């Protein structure tokens, strides 16, 4: 089926926002909006053909515009995750960012890419391309940055997200998609069985900034190297809040796609594979979501969704031993994330 475009409301200043619907013949349907370059929904069948929405979000644009929106489905940028104290130094020059998460900068700042209206166009039958220009100095980051994201749904249930960006001044960049998944269509995600291809995770301090230690997961509540229910050890993580940790992927090689994680929901048989070209994946279990009105009259609470945010490691600009997030003029930032939806008999 051809991709379609339809109105999705207006921003507070009256600009029109659109939704884009991508279908395939296997019964998977993805809906996106150019506000925040956001994945709004994914309809996916279970082993008996029953279709539910496996992405948390909102029925209308208003939910995405609200201050209470916890980055549902959006593109986070310029820098996904946290930068310590909202500061970094690049080639001897210091830069100061907005501190919007305790003392730290989170997901690009106060008005990050999640709060931008992107230009968008349908590309062929199964894809939409979104573009944005971020001016020099926006949210404290150097360089005029031009970004493109293409979302493409194939016939195998694979939603591919390709990123590209260029800058006219040296800068730092770290993009991710922040979708919350629930393969049962609702309720706690404790029974979801998860495997993450990472033998180490980044130990963090009390403000979620990496200490620099990359600790083995073996024998700890952080271990998902074998398929493990998300709820098995969640009460023992971070004072009963849940998972919000960067996993350091085993097979990272710049530009090469690797399987980061596989999630399965036993009752429905739905599966989700996550592939990436990035060195890390942030597992987040909606720890701070509380009484949030969502789709179809649902009210979301903590642990009712999980995020697999493929990205570079948090605070990389301040950690030269971490994989670099620097982007210079003449270079092109590229990244691919694939969410592959399937079903097991």
Q: What is the DSSP letter of 78?
A: S
Please check whether residue 247 is in contact with residue 280, taking contact to mean a CB–CB distance below 8 angstroms: yes
SS3 326: strand
**Is 251:280 a contact under the CB 8 Å cutoff?**
no
Residue 261 bridge partners (DSSP): 196, 274
Task: Give dist(CA 94, CA 103) in Å, integer.
Answer: 17
> Is residue 122 within 8 Å of 3, Cβ to Cβ?
yes
Separation of alpha carbons 247 and 199, rounded Å? 8
Reference 159, options 331, 43, 253; nearest CA is 43
- The 3-class SS string of 222-236 reads CCCCCCEECCCCHHH
* Alpha carbons 175 and 108: distance in angstroms, whole number: 9
Please choose, from the candidates 267, 275, 260, the residue with its C-alpha nearest in 3D space to the C-alpha of residue 185. 267
Task: Specify burial of residue 173 (Cβ count, 10 A radius: 0-12, 13-18, 19+).
Answer: buried
Active site residues: 178, 309
Q: What residues are paired with 323 via a beta bridge? A: none
Q: Phi and psi (nearest 5°) for 289?
A: -85, 125
């Amino acid at each position: 089926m051809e991709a379609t475009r339809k109105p999705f409301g207006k921003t507070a200043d009256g600009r029109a926002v659109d939704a884009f619907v991508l279908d395939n013949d296997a019964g998977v349907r993805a809906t996106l909006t150019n506000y925040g370059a956001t994945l709004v929904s994914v309809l996916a069948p279970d082993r008996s053909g029953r279709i539910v929405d496996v992405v948390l979000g909102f029925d209308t644009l208003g939910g995405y515009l609200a201050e209470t929106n916890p980055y549902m489905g959006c593109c986070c940028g310029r820098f996904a995750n946290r930068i310590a104290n909202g500061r970094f130094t690049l080639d001897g020059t210091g830069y100061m960012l907005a501190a919007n998460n305790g003392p730290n900068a989170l997901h690009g700042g106060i008005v990050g890419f999640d709060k931008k209206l992107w230009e968008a166009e349908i590309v062929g039958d199964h894809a939409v391309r979104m573009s944005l220009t971020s001016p020099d100095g926006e949210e404290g980051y150097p360089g005029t940055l031009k970004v493109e994201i293409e979302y493409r749904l194939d016939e195998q249930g694979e939603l591919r997200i390709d990123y590209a960006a260029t800058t006219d001044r040296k800068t730092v960049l770290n993009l991710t998609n922040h979708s919350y998944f629930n393969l049962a269509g609702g309720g706690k995600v404790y029974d979801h069985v998860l495997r993450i291809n990472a033998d180490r995770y980044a130990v963090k301090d009390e403000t979620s900034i990496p200490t620099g230690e990359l600790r083995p997961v073996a024998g700890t509540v952080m271990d998902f190297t074998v398929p493990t229910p998300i709820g098995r050890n969640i009460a023992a993580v971070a004072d009963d809040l849940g998972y919000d940790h960067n996993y350091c992927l085993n097979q990272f090689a710049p530009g090469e796609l690797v399987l980061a994680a596989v999630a399965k929901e036993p009752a429905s048989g739905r599966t989700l594979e996550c592939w990436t070209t990035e060195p890390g994946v942030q597992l987040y279990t909606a720890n701070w979501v509380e009484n949030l009105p969502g789709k179809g009259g649902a009210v979301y609470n903590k642990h009712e969704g999980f995020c697999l945010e493929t990205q570079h490691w948090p605070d990389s600009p301040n950690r030269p031993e971490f994989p670099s997030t620097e982007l210079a003029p003449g270079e092109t930032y590229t990244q691919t994330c694939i969410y592959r939806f399937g079903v097991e008999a």
